[in-house]
Chain A
Amino acid sequence: MSDIALTPSAGVTPIPLGEVLPWAIFGGLIMLLAIYFIGAEEGAMSLFSGMYVHEFVHDGRHLLGFPCH
């Protein structure tokens, strides 16, 4: 069964690259920026001055395993 499912000729057509790419670039950047704000802003580097973002998401940052403190 698994061998059948793995054969490339199974007829699963990929989504065309031209359709994936714009979303991947645009969406990917926004998602990475969001993760940056949760994980690293006002830690190793800062886009904003102060410590508010850092302190606000502080518990999440530690519990998600990002380096902190």
Chain B
Amino acid sequence: MTRDLLIRGMIVGVIAGLLAFGFARVFGEPQVDHAIAFEEKMSQAAGAAAEPELVARATQAGIGLFTGIVVYSAALGGLFSLVFAFVHGRVSSLSPRSTAALLALAGFVAIVLVPCIKYPMNPPAVGSPDTIGARTELFFVMLVVSLGALAAAVGLAKRLYAQHGAWNATLMAGAAYVVFIALVQYSLPAINEVPEQFSPTVLWNFRVASLGIHVIVWTTLGLLFGALAERVLAGQRPRYRLHAAR
């Protein structure tokens, strides 16, 4: 059963990655090109020799981007299906489709939205190579805390459920999650390495494109995986169908 879900999760992840790659190619790459042009202009102005290209730009923007997004997305789909296999019937007693959709929404918020509010995605030319260690550390700390807080909030909602009902329990746990995240983000150090002359329009467009990629990936995971999981689980559980028909 888990194996069937895992395979489907990865397949859905690949499909999500293909869609996201198409989007990234059209809306993301122009911003990356603008950023690299800015980077080169700055290093020329500083009198530095042009850096030798280890990988051609066309490769980076083509098969490199493709590999990056599809592999990331397939792996994410696999992880998503594993969490789904654990959560289904245990944390959530909703239908597989609803569980998958909610899980994707929660995943998007905890993995993409919350970390990027504090440490937003940056195009090339933004960010000093000297601070990559600290920036990576802070980014992953934010990510892990965000995921932990989400799990805790779900646990809290489950506990409040019996006394307050689904709606109020969700609102209370949601509020606790938001307050906790606000405190964490307030106390973590800020990182701002955007060069002063960097175009704000390019920065904005880059970040919107990046968010768009994630929205496509998570929407596909939530909806398509849910539909496939429903089929996998339907064969196993005739009682579920009766329940859904009510």
For the A-B complex with A27-B78, A34-B72 known, give 10 more contacts whose Cβ atoms are closer than 8 Å: A6-B166, A34-B71, A35-B72, A38-B75, A61-B68, A63-B210, A64-B68, A64-B210, A68-B127, A69-B122
Chain B interface secondary structure, helix, strand, loop or mixed? Answer: helix
How far, in Å, is B167 (CB) from chain A's closest CB? 8
How far, in Å, is A63 (CB) from chain B's closest CB? 5
B60 and A55 contacting across the interface, CB-CB below 8 Å: yes
Kindly state the separation between the CA atoms of A30 and B226 in the bound complex, as whole angstroms.
23
Return 26 A-B CB contacts under 8 Å, by A number. A2-B166, A5-B95, A6-B161, A6-B166, A10-B243, A15-B89, A19-B1, A20-B85, A24-B2, A35-B76, A38-B68, A52-B55, A56-B55, A59-B24, A59-B29, A59-B64, A60-B24, A62-B32, A63-B68, A63-B121, A65-B120, A65-B214, A67-B132, A68-B122, A68-B132, A69-B132
A63 and B126 contacting across the interface, CB-CB below 8 Å: no
Measured CB to CB, the residues of B under 8 A from A are 1-3, 6, 24, 28-29, 32, 54-55, 59-61, 64-65, 67-69, 71-72, 74-76, 78-79, 82, 85-86, 88-90, 93-95, 98, 112, 115-116, 119-129, 132-133, 135-137, 139, 161, 165-166, 206, 209-210, 213-214, 237, 239-240, 242-243, 246
Please tell me the size bucket of the interface on A. Answer: 35 or more
When distances are taken between beta carbons in the complex, the residues of chain A under 8 Å from B210 are: 62-65
In-complex Cβ contact of B121 among A34, A37, A44, A62 (8 A): A62
B59 and A56 contacting across the interface, CB-CB below 8 Å: yes
In-complex Cβ contact of B119 among A30, A40, A67, A69 (8 A): A67
